[in-house]
Amino acid sequence: MFIFNSSIGKKFIQAVSGAFLIIFMLLHSTINFFSVIDSFLGKFGVAAADEAIFSKGDGLFKLGCDFMSTPFISIMVPILALGFLIHIAYGCWLTWQNIRARGGWKRYEVSSKAAADSWSAKNMFVLGIVVLGLIFFHLTHFWAKMQLPEMFGIGNFENNPYLLLEATFGHWWVLALYLVWFAALWFHMVHGFWSMFQTVGWNGQTWFKRVKVIGIIVATLICLMLSATAVNAFVQANFVV
């Protein structure tokens, strides 16, 4: 079958699952960024103790987290997990195929613009490993204290997500690790974005340049919102009483 046999077919799966993950990241980083807006509105930390969703007066970030636990999004969670798994499995497979085709773990030696393209093109696998490794670390901070108790009754549920933000980013070394993670994610998404359009055939001269710029804008927006969330939570935890 085309999808599994041709190299474009495999990259197509990688592109579609990648696009899905970028959409998730846009939603996720926007909701997280709500916590920064909350700080300016004096609502950072405001979460009603009633454990109901969408309580009146709650901060925007808390409302966003409530949205993430509505049935529609809960249905999406297994699909999201599947998207991640497919993307990771195919990423490893594509890397392995490339290593075999080149006769070993070596970098491109071609000087053509497309092949030698950028630093991140050659390091997608390594960047992917960094991004993935830190996702597990990240899930222990939030998902394990929100969704896991809610969905499966495992562990203690934390109703106030602002406390989790402070508990996580209150430590400078965790903040630093997350910032390194966002940087790796930035390179991974920038390359992934244009590679995705190249795979689906949008590689004419004019559009190729535009797509590259759009990719940089989208990745930068996501990473800036995430970094602002993390730095703001660090400040809230350490300097705001």
219 binds ligand HEM (CB under 6 A): no
Helix and strand numbers (H, E) in the chain are 10, 0
Among 34, 90, 142, 186, binds ligand HEM (CB under 6 A): 142
Q: Which is nearer to ligand HEM, 142 or 194 (CB)?
A: 142
Q: Identify which of 85, 177, 56 has the alpha carbon closest to the alpha carbon of residue 185.
A: 177
- How far apart CA 195 and CA 14 sit, in angstroms, is 10
Among 8, 28, 121, 231, binds ligand HEM (CB under 6 A): 28
Type of residue at 10: K
Choose the stretch contacting ligand HEM; rule: CB under 6 A; options: 40-48, 105-113, 213-221, 225-233.
Answer: 225-233
Residue 146 in the binding site for ligand HEM (CB under 6 A) = yes
92 contacts: CB under 8 Å, gap ≥ 6: 125
Least distance between ligand HEM and beta carbon 200 (Å): 23
Residue among 147 and 199 whose Cβ is closer to ligand HEM: 147
Task: Tell me the two tokens of residue 202.
Answer: 């949008």
Q: Is 230 in the site for ligand HEM (CB under 6 A)?
A: yes
The residue among 60, 55, 53, 58 whose CA lies nearest residue 35 is: 60
The two structure tokens encoding residue 134: 């830190």
> Length of the chain in residues, anyone?
241
Tell me how many degrees the CA angle 156-231-155 measures, rounded to the nearest 5: 10
Query: Helices 172-199 and 7-41: crossing angle, nearest 10°?
Result: 140
- The Cα–Cα gap between 26 and 23 comes to 5
| Near ligand HEM by CB under 6 A: residue from 39, 229, 232, 236 | 229
Nearest to 118 by CA among 201, 9, 215: 215
Considering only the stretches 90-98, 106-114, 122-130, 143-151, report the one whose residues sit in contact with ligand HEM under the rule CB under 6 A: 143-151
Nearest distance in Å: CB 128, ligand HEM = 10
Residue 124 binds ligand HEM (CB under 6 A): no
Binding map of ligand HEM across residues 69-108, x = CB under 6 A, - = no contact: --------x--x----------------------------
| Distance separating alpha carbons of residues 188 and 49, to the nearest angstrom | 39
Q: Tokens 């940087």 correspond to what residue?
A: 183
Q: What mask, x for binding ligand HEM by CB under 6 A, covers residues 169 to 208?
A: ----------------x-----------------------
In angstroms, rounded to a whole number, what is the distance separating the alpha carbons of residues 142 and 164?
Answer: 7
Residue (8 or 134) nearer to ligand HEM, CB: 134
- Find the binder of ligand HEM among 12, 93, 125, 143 (CB under 6 A): 143
Contacting residues toward ligand HEM, per CB under 6 A: 28, 32, 65, 68, 77, 80, 131, 135, 138, 142-143, 146-147, 161, 165, 185, 226, 229-230
